[in-house]
Chains A and B, each alone.
Chain A
């Protein structure tokens, strides 16, 4: 079986076999490929980069070139069992709207977000007085596509405001180990990223 990113593995664990999945920002299709073979899902993808789309389609995956922020609105409500967004919420112009649309077109949404409240990030900012650059977030401030960073607490607060239920939580550390199954102040400090299974208020 193909090896996939730690957060993608956790996402895959949240997906029921034989379900319908839309992977938003599916990149080279690693997760979709994994899900269709390991869980027999009916998988679709949206990807912004043409290179990614070509790789996906050339591997037999159903992927369209498109922009989540403009193209998600076309899908009917409840079209998928899961709508997945892996580490791209922070790159959206309107992350809140994207989250809303995901919860509309999917019975569940699965989101993984990098944690800007991670202790190494906090420490870098505090000690150097400069924007943190970490192993997983290796961009300088002027080149980063990540325009809407949040901490895990920020994310949880937003879901509460939007009336979205968090059904499952996985907080993972730098080595990809799950350090917590619930959000807390400590998790917000020790977790490098969080993976959340969400249900919208309509679902």
Chain B
């Protein structure tokens, strides 16, 4: 880590391998005085959370929106990515004049606990051994990620978030926020997500993990110490996962059976088809920015997510804190061609919220772009988010659209 720790931050965790000196963004050490207890029972203290903020926090600290990123996302929401050089992953939705208007709201996004872009994760040095954690890093859950985010939000002096927004795994965190800290969230926008990870989704994750672990360069998780990189395994994991983010229609529209830079099939196993070439590219690009062990840990966190199980088996009970209807205002959105987190998953959450007569909006957006649609240009989806936030802002007493200029 190059950025000097601020005064009150003891260096319990030493600099990490991939924390290159140029990595921009804010960092904070949390749970320094009192370790945070993970769902597994392990206690973790003095961990680092990397985050970014956009916009300005107002005087009564009532305009903060927390964005939760998905499995392979990070906190570079609306700025050039420091590793890939690509635009921020949610510039479609977030920014000045966008539905999540940074001229109006104070937007926070942090890299999840267990991640690999600045927050403490398996690639970091275990202070106890002086070596990278690898698989000795404790297993974290969606609940643990949110616990860490809560500490960050408190560190920023914010008592109640105006809104928590996220898609996919980010949506799981949004739900977890609303259930774990209903008094600290005014509104929640879980997008293309589920209250529990389905058997099919766990299965896909297991394929990805097995691909990583089958790579001889993985070395039982000790690749950092042994100077190898399980690139092939991680790339295959990404390729398999990437298919689940698209729809059959979208894949067909994009590639069909088109051949890659050739006029005829080659009767071999080179990437004859464009879709193969595309997936190989996606896999190769991914290993540049993602840590293989982090992928294992974060997919596991999603697999373990089951809100109903935590609430005694009935999802509605999760939204009835202390026997009273949750005060959080919800807006759920799903996408018609998303088969990874299909509309039925969102509808199950809506039914549970109805069962406690909670304040909920729900829209299924018609699109053929699959799960990834939440990251793409979907004007109707953006109108819905904009309208919902406007309505909530009115109820929260946040002033008109823009500050006078």
Contacts and interface: CB of A to CB of B under 8 A. Distances in A.
B387 A71 contact: no
Given A71-B351, A71-B354, A75-B354, A62 B359 contact: yes
B390 A64 contact: no
A62 B355 contact: no
A76 B386 CA distance: 30
A88 interface: no
B256 interface: no
Nearest to B393: A60
B394 A57 contact: no
Interface in A139-198: none
A50 interface: yes
Interface string A38-71: 0000101000001001101111111111100001
Contact of B361 (A20, A62, A74): A62
Contacts of B357: 20, 75-76, 79-80
A107 B361 CA distance: 22
A66 B353 CA distance: 13
B394 A58 contact: no
Contact of A57 (B351, B354, B359, B361): B361
Contacts of B350: 64, 66
A58 B384 contact: yes
Nearest to A43: B359
A60 B394 CA distance: 9
B362 A60 contact: no
Contacts of B351: 71, 74
B360 A64 contact: yes
A66 B351 CA distance: 10
Interface residues of A, number: 23
A119 B59 CA distance: 64
Contacts of A79: 357
Interface string B333-350: 000000000000001001
B245 interface: no
A56 B360 CA distance: 12
A55 B346 CA distance: 19
Nearest to B332: A64
B210 interface: no
Contacts of A71: 351, 354
A62 B391 CA distance: 9
Contacts of B331: 57
Contacts of A57: 331, 361, 363, 384, 387-388
Q: Majority SS of interface residues in chain A?
A: mixed
Contacts of A74: 351, 354-355
A192 to B, nearest CB: 34
A65 B354 contact: no
Contacts of B383: 54, 58
Interface in B170-211: none
B345 to A, nearest CB: 14
A183 B355 CA distance: 36
B356 interface: yes
A62 B360 contact: yes
B268 to A, nearest CB: 47
Nearest to A70: B351
Contacts of B363: 50, 53-54, 57, 65
Contact of A63 (B347, B356, B361): B361
Interface of A: 20, 42, 44, 50, 53-54, 56-66, 71, 74-76, 79-80
Given A44-B360, A60-B390, A80-B357, 8 more contacts: A50-B364, A53-B361, A54-B383, A59-B391, A61-B361, A64-B361, A71-B354, A75-B355
Interface of B: 329, 331, 347, 350-351, 354-357, 359-364, 366, 380, 383-384, 386-388, 390-392, 394
24 contacts: A42-B359, A44-B360, A50-B363, A50-B364, A50-B366, A53-B362, A54-B363, A54-B380, A57-B361, A57-B363, A58-B383, A59-B391, A60-B387, A60-B394, A61-B361, A61-B391, A62-B329, A62-B359, A64-B361, A64-B362, A66-B362, A75-B354, A76-B355, A80-B357
Closest 3 CB pairs of A and B: A60-B391, A58-B387, A79-B357
